[in-house]
Amino acid sequence: MFKLASTVGVLAVGAGLLEGCMFDVDAGNRAVVLNLYSGVEPEVRGEGTHFKVPILQTPFIIDVRSSPRVIHSATGTKDLQMVNISLRVLSRPLESALVTIYNEIGLDFNNRILPSLGNEVLKSVVAQYNAEELLSKRELVSEQIRRAIIKRAETFNLIIDDVSITHLTYGKEFSKAVENKQVAQ
């Protein structure tokens, strides 16, 4: 009986050690491995089960699927009207640059890059139009925002799959002036 218990104990310890030497990367994810001595390894690990040296290597799992992000911005138009604009951006990291992204930006790259990038682009594009043009040329404005965000995101190794304006409202004064004009007509 003692021999069976010790065999089971040895097998359990062996299975625990073996499990500590492996890690899984699920579908839609990739892993960047940090080596305690040499830093981040240049090879990005794909989906599947991989071996690691316990304590010496630590895997960091990164989601490479498109993820939505809503960016809100209050900005001024060419005729100095305040506009509240919301933008929905679908983005994902460039897989071949995951090591660079991890080293330069970190794991929370979407939260660190997209809000400031979106605000910068929104302010620069919206400032080129007056309040009336934002409504009448919405397609053109949306396309210009999309192109600018895609170009800026490339410098951070991010791929933008889709950009769309989801919400566009004006300040109270402008809305009241439009309403008064319609009542007068």
Question: Could you report the per-residue pLDDT of 9-53, keeping only the tens digit for each?
Answer: 555 555 455 567 899 999 999 999 999 999 999 999 999 999 998
pTM over 0.85: no
CA distance 71 to 87: 5
Mean pLDDT, range 122-134, rounded to an integer: 89
> Do 80 and 44 touch, CB atoms closer than 8 A?
no
For the chain, the distance separating the N- and C-terminal CA atoms, rounded to the nearest angstrom, is 98
If you average pLDDT over every residue of the chain, what do you get?
86
Domain ranges in the chain are 2-63, 67-184
Residue whose tokens read 């790259």: 109
pLDDT at 136: 85
CA distance 142 to 123: 13
pLDDT at 5: 57
Single-letter code of the amino acid located at 38: S
Confidence of residue 170 (pLDDT cuts 50, 70, 90): confident
Q: Percent of the chain scored above 90 by pLDDT?
A: 58
Pick the CATH number of 67-184 from 3.40.1650.10, 3.40.1010.10, 3.40.630.10, 3.30.479.30: 3.30.479.30
3-class DSSP assignment, residue 60: strand
pLDDT at 66: 94
CA distance 110 to 108: 6
